[in-house]
Amino acid sequence: MRFQLTDDQRALRAGVREVLARRFGPDALRAAVARPGLDRELWRALGEAGFFALRLPEARGGVGLGLPEAVLAFEEAGRASLPGPLLGTHLAAGTVPGAAEGETVVAVVDGALVEWWDEADVVVGEGGAGAVPMRSVDPLTPLRRVPDAVACTADPVAVLLTAAEQLGTATRACELAVGHARTREQFGRPIGAFQAVQHLCADLLVRTEVARSAVYAASVTGDAADAAAARVLADEAAAQGARDCLQVFGGMGFTWEAEVHLLLKRAWVRARRSGGAEQSEELLARALLSGTD
């Protein structure tokens, strides 16, 4: 057992991080808020980098990697707050023509919600046509509501990749909070020297690392209950992490200009995906009774 990233996995993560830093850094994130809409050029660049075709076999033109690598890529996307129907397009690679290359943007009807319906070239799932636009809480995720939607059992891969994105948000929230705590001074010293602030930061890290072990392990086992556990913890790490980060930023955290609110709002949107924590918790409760591991 060597439950640590391999050198190849570290390199892949660094590569995705680098591409995203170059193409979608914090300034680009703010610019995207000012001018919402899907950046098709970036989408194609992601396609070229193999983001959507990551798990497609090489014989079918894909990269031929597995769930652990996809999880690392989605974590980085989450860390950069990358907007767009990443999950829908990734899952459609190999079935919807052009999805793998980033030429076709694919949205998914997920329960009662559709993300990015207006910008998508293809919408997978029923009821999308009748979906009603709503004013989305997240400025970077347009949403539509599906009337009379029927609940369905979530795909464990969608659950896990959502958890991976949430893990990225949690990681980012922790980095931002710690960075701010080191530099912002009050009472003549960095606020990070105050225990109340230190303990907020410590809790941010603990939630993130617990979620990380769960997400990575689920990517190795591919087990539905492991994916459910990962999502429950990653939802918490992202949403509570963004809140704590906001607290560490003080008044600045409450502004539109700071990045923090975008982390929180995205975490809320993702928390509604794939049956939400509710479905995951019910699945885990059933697993407890059936005695499966």
Partner 1 sequence: MDLAYTPEEEEFRARLRAWLTRTLPLLPPKPSPDDWPARRAYDLGWQRRLYDAGYAHVHWDASPTVRLIFLEETERAGAPYVGANFVGLLHAGPTIAAEGTPAQRERWLEPILKGEEVWCQGFSEPDAGSDLASLRTRARRDGDVYRVTGSKIWTSHAEVADWCELLVRTDPDAPRHQGITWLAMPMDAPGVTVRPLRTLAGSAEFAEVFLDDVPVPVANRVGAENDGWRVTMVTLSFERGTAFAGEVVACRRVLAELAREAHGNGRWDDPALRRRLGRLEAEFRALWRLVQWNVGEATENGVPGAGGSVFKLRYSHARQQLYDATADVLGDAALDLDRPWVLERLSSLSYTIAAGTSQIQRTIVAQRVLGLPKGR
Binding residues vs partner 1 (CB under 8 A) = 1-6, 9, 68, 178, 181-182, 189-190, 192-195, 197-199, 201-203, 205-206, 209-214, 216-217, 219-221, 225-226, 228-230, 232-233, 277-278, 280-285, 287-289, 291
Q: Nearest approach, Cβ of 217 to partner 1 (angstroms)?
A: 4
Nearer to partner 1, 86 or 230 (CB): 230
* Tokens matching residue 102: 């980033």
User: Do 227 and 159 form a contact (C-beta atoms < 8 A)?
Assistant: yes
Nearer to partner 1, 119 or 281 (CB): 281
Nearer to partner 1, 38 or 229 (CB): 229
**In DSSP terms, which residues pair with 115 in a beta bridge?**
143
Q: What residues contact 95, with CB distance under 8 A and at least 6 apart?
A: none
Q: What residues contact 78, with CB distance under 8 A and at least 6 apart?
A: 164, 165, 166, 167, 168, 169, 171, 172, 238, 266
Q: Nearest approach, Cβ of 2 to partner 1 (angstroms)?
A: 5
Nearer to partner 1, 144 or 231 (CB): 231
User: Residue 170: helix, strand or coil by DSSP?
Assistant: helix
Q: Nearest approach, Cβ of 262 to partner 1 (angstroms)?
A: 23
Q: Nearest approach, Cβ of 5 to partner 1 (angstroms)?
A: 6
Nearer to partner 1, 89 or 219 (CB): 219
Regarding beta strands 143-145 and 185-186, do their DSSP bridges make them parallel or antiparallel, or are they unpaired? Answer: unpaired
Q: Nearest approach, Cβ of 203 to partner 1 (angstroms)?
A: 7
Please choose, from the candidates 83, 120, 82, the residue with its C-alpha nearest in 3D space to the C-alpha of residue 103. 120
Cα separation, 193 vs 200, whole angstroms: 12
In the chain, the amino acid numbered 82 is L
